[in-house]
Structure 1
Amino acid sequence: MDDWDAGSFLKNIAMIEIRAMARRAKPLEMWTNEDYVACIAWLADLCHNMPDASLRRGGIREIIRPRSHRERPFLHAWNVADSMGREWIIDRLKREGVSWTPPASM
């Protein structure tokens, strides 16, 4: 799976997990405390930076992005993710049997 599709896929998984947390008032199993609202905010922030297949041909966005980000659109999201965010990304893709290689960190 390429970066664009991986980002879209992960955003959809996050939406499902956010809805589940909001409905049951419990955070993700990997979250270190019971503050599910903070967990929802963390997951939304994590996914906000991810590429989205619907923006694959983003016009002006493609022109102003650095070349490294055009080659690996997930680079920024990967670099700003904390260790738990990276773990979430890898775990969710692995759970779904998706093959994706993270970008090299800068």
Structure 2
Amino acid sequence: MSGKHKVDDWTAGRHLRGLAMLEIRAMARRRKPLTGWPDDDFVACIAWLADLCHNMPVVPFRTRRWWHWRDRRRPMEWTWKVAGPAGREWILTSLEKDGMNWTPPSGE
């Protein structure tokens, strides 16, 4: 891929949630964790990835009323804050691998 395209938080979150579903399905079927997971406990890896993606922003379909306290300029702010080093690495590596240029929220 010659160049990366810049994506916003909503696009990054949507892409990562979809990717996580594919990874979770693959781990469940082959009974092996993601490459780089510290041991062979694929169930723990599935749980970790599901927890990480649970914190990603979801684009509301009809209204933003329910969004209240998470309504920030950076929808991925909370996800980035709670992701930890392994989650942050997965986020950045996954987006980079798929040709996406995303800038993490500043601060923690």
TM-score (ref. length: structure 1): 0.89
Partner of residue 49, structure 1: 55
More helix by share: 1
Task: Give the whole-Å Cα distance in 2 for the aligned partners of 1:57 and 1:33.
Answer: 42
Task: Give the whole-Å Cα distance in 2 for the aligned partners of 1:21 and 1:47.
Answer: 16
SS at structure 1 position matched to 2:49: helix
Gaps of 5+ in 2: 1-6
Partner of residue 24, structure 2: 18
Counterpart residue type for residue 75 of structure 2: P
Counterpart residue type for residue 43 of structure 1: L
What whole-Å deviation, never above 9, does each CA across 1:76-101 have from its counterpart, x for those lacking one? 00000110000000000000000110
The answer on 1:3 being equivalent to 2:5 is no
Task: Give the whole-Å Cα distance in 2 for the aligned partners of 1:49 and 1:81.
Answer: 9
Task: Give the whole-Å Cα distance in 2 for the aligned partners of 1:56 and 1:17.
Answer: 25
The answer on 1:29 being equivalent to 2:35 is yes
Higher RCO (C-alpha under 8 Å, 6+ residues apart): 2
State the aligned residue count: 102
CA RMSD in angstroms, aligned pairs only: 1.6
1:65 to 51, 64, 69: 69
What whole-Å deviation, never above 9, does each CA across 1:22-53 have from its counterpart, x for those lacking one? 0000000110000000000000000000112x
Counterpart residue type for residue 45 of structure 2: C
Gaps of 5+ in 1: none
SS at structure 2 position matched to 1:81: helix
Q: Is the Cα contact below 8 Å between 1:78 and 1:105 reproduced in 2?
A: no
TM-score (ref. length: structure 2): 0.87
